A and B are shown apart, each in its own frame.
Chain A
Amino acid sequence: MNDSNSDVDAFERQLRQFRPARPSDELMARLENRPTPRSARTGIDFRAVVRFFAPGLGGATALAVILACWFVAHHGLPRVAMTANFGPTPFPASRTPLVCVHSTDAVVAARDEGIYTKVDGQPVQVIRLLDLNKSVWKDPRNGNRMEVVVPRQQFLVGDVETY
Chain B
Amino acid sequence: MDPQEPSPVEWRVWLRSHAREFLLFARQQTRCGADAEDVLQEALMEAWNRSPDHAPPPLPLVYATIRRRAIDLGRSNDRRTRREQSDDPARPAWFESETEMTGMRDLLESGVKGLLDNQREVVVLKVWGGLTFEEIGAALEIPPNTAASRYRYGIEALRKTLKPLLA
* Contact assessment for B11 and A32 in the assembled complex, using a CB-CB cutoff below 8 Å: yes
What is the bound-complex CA distance between A18 and B112, given in angstroms? 12
Contacts of B126 in A (CB 8 A): 12
- Give A18 Cβ to nearest chain B Cβ, in Å: 4
Stretch of B1-9, B52-60, B114-122, B137-145 that contacts chain A: B1-9
A84 within 8 A of B: no
Contacts of A101 in B (CB 8 A): 2, 5
* Contact assessment for B34 and A41 in the assembled complex, using a CB-CB cutoff below 8 Å: yes
How many residues of B are in contact with the other chain, CB < 8 A? 44
* Contact assessment for B19 and A16 in the assembled complex, using a CB-CB cutoff below 8 Å: no
B92 within 8 A of A: yes
Contacting residue for B128 out of A20, A32, A75, CB 8 A:
A20
| Contact pattern, B 26-37, Cβ under 8 Å of A = 1, otherwise 0 | 000000001001
* B-side interface mostly: helix
Task: Name A8's closest neighbour in chain B (CB-CB).
Answer: B155
* Contact assessment for A34 and B19 in the assembled complex, using a CB-CB cutoff below 8 Å: no
* Contact assessment for A140 and B9 in the assembled complex, using a CB-CB cutoff below 8 Å: yes
Task: Name A100's closest neighbour in chain B (CB-CB).
Answer: B8
Given contacts A18-B108, A21-B20, A74-B79, whether A11 and B159 have CB atoms under 8 Å apart is: yes
Chain A interface extent, by class? 20 to 34
* A-side interface mostly: mixed
Contacts of A95 in B (CB 8 A): none
* Contact assessment for B80 and A74 in the assembled complex, using a CB-CB cutoff below 8 Å: yes
Contacts of B16 in A (CB 8 A): 28
* Contact assessment for B8 and A12 in the assembled complex, using a CB-CB cutoff below 8 Å: no
Contacting residue for A20 out of B38, B94, B104, CB 8 A:
B94
A118 within 8 A of B: no
Task: Name B19's closest neighbour in chain A (CB-CB).
Answer: A23
What is the bound-complex CA distance between A23 and B34, given in angstroms? 12
Contacts of B19 in A (CB 8 A): 22-23, 28, 31
What is the bound-complex CA distance between A14 and B163, given in angstroms? 11
Contacting residue for A32 out of B15, B20, B105, CB 8 A:
B15
